[in-house]
Each structure stands twice: as C-alpha cells, then as structure tokens.
Amino acid sequence: MSLYLRGRFCLVANDLSQRVALVTGGGRGIGAAIATRLAGMGATTIICGRNRARLEQTAQQIQCESLVCDVANWNSVSSMAQRLKETFNRLDILVNNAGIGGFGGPLHTMPLESWDAVLNTNLRGVFFTVRAFAPLLIASGGGDIINISSIAGKNALPNGAAYAASKWGLNGLSYSIAEELRGHKIRVSVICPGSTNTELSPHEGKDPNKMLQADDVAHVVAMLLTQAPQSFASEVVLRPTQKP
C-alpha cells in the first residue's frame, strides 16, 4: 500500500489514525455517516451539534467524542475551539455539515426569523468555524476543510430561496478560502449532494431507494481526505444514478 507525506506524518492511504477530525451537525443524517466513516478509518473523531441526546447516542455507537455547540453562536464555537485545543492541541480535518432547511413557501411570505435561522446556521456558522479553527489547522501543519453544500447551491429552488441562498453563499465562501489557505497546506473542498434520504428536507413523492444515502456523501468525504497531497478537488457535485 502506497505511503504519502501529509503534514508531519507519513500515512498509509485510507488510514487517518494520526488525525483529529471535527464534524459539525454530527448527531444524525449525513453528519453521523461522515463521523462513522472517519472513525472507522482511524481518525480521532469529535461530533458537535445542538441536541445533546442525539449526539450522545451517535457517539456511543461509533465510539467518538461529542460536544454540544451551536455553530450559529460565536461564543459557543470559540469555546469549543478552545476546548479542542486544550484537549488535543491539533486539528487536521474540519467537516462543516451542520445545516437547517427552509422550505416553507415563497420568499415574500417567509418569516424574518426563519431567514435569519437558515442563513445564520448554514453560512455564518461556517464562517465562525473557519474563523475559530483555521489557526489550529495551520498550527497542526495543514489539513482539510470540507463544506457540505447542496445542489441547491447551483440550481434554482422555488419555495426554498433562503436555503438556496445559504448554499450559493457557502460555495463562494469555500472557493475563496481555498485560495486563502492553500499556502498553509490546507485543502478546502465543497460537496454538493442532490436529493439525499435524510430528515432535513421534504421528499414528497420521491422514492427513497433511488435517492442518495448519507453514506454516499461520507464516501466522497473519505475520497477527498485520501487524495495525494499535491492535489485537491475543489468541488464535487453528487447526484443519484436515477431520478427519484
């Protein structure tokens, strides 16, 4: 099995045993699937989210750390960053998965607080985590930031304009910070899944067996993390083979 140099360590391909990974929104759905995959590849894995019960349930299943954190709150994120620094003194992988939907109808009828909730979690929350954890990634010798976006960040989404806006913004943020951080040996990638069988969004009339599954997204995360260090995929658009 080939070896390659990554940061300060010589790693075996598909082996993340010397890396520390944080997955936001890791208590369920895509986040839990990603955390399960990373832990299975040997990474010291931490999941965070707002629901303590869901976090603890997932953490027990995959034997990982869990922290309660609201990514839309700067004080909550900065406190988590300080705790990770004190506990592990490094971070190698940041997966920004935390997100909420906003599919309640046309934008002109959307409550103001709903707009704020979607944008604050899906976009501002990623700014907060990058702001808080990029210094630790830099100090660790480099690493990977993977942002989970959506195909809604590339296509029109009637009755989901706030969600689409948050994901279009996330894509632009991802491309820009990739340029800012590549000199620090930090690769930034964005994954844009199509219809995925999770609790996040309505799937009325769709066949869940034809939809993407959370494990499909986790598989792409693993692919990105095990690329040779001289390259990175800045964007992956993931679609189901058949239209649901």
**Structure confidence by residue, pLDDT tens digits, 24-37:** 999 999 999 999 99
Is-catalytic flag, 163? yes
Residue 10 identity (one-letter amino acid): C
pLDDT of residue 132: 98
**In this structure, CATH architecture of domain 3-198+207-238:** 3-Layer(aba) Sandwich (3.40)
pLDDT of residue 200: 67
Q: Is the pLDDT of residue 7 over 50?
A: no
pLDDT of residue 6: 38
Q: Which backbone phi and psi does 70 adopt, to 5 degrees?
A: -105, 110
Q: Is the pLDDT of residue 10 over 50?
A: no
Q: Of these residues, 163, 165, 170, 187, which one is catalytic? A: 163
pLDDT of residue 214: 95
Give me the percent of the chain exceeding a pLDDT of 90.
83
| DSSP H or E segment with residue 49 | strand 44-49
pLDDT of residue 44: 97
Average of per-residue pLDDT values in the chain? 92
| pTM > 0.85: yes or no | yes
3-class secondary structure, 205? coil
pLDDT of residue 94: 98
| Residue of 182, 202, 75, 179 whose CA lies nearest to 138 | 182
Greater confidence (8 vs 123) lies with 123
CA–CA distance, 165 with 21 (Å, rounded to integer): 28
Q: Which of 97-106, 138-147, 186-195, 220-229 has the lowest mean pLDDT?
A: 97-106
Q: Is the pLDDT of residue 118 over 60?
A: yes
* pLDDT classification of 12: cutoffs 50, 70, 90: very low
User: How buried is 86 (Cβ within 10 angstroms: 0-12 exposed, 13-18 middle, 19+ buried)?
Assistant: exposed
Conformational region of residue 242, where left means phi above 0, alpha means psi within -120 to 50, and beta covers everything else: beta
pLDDT of residue 201: 61
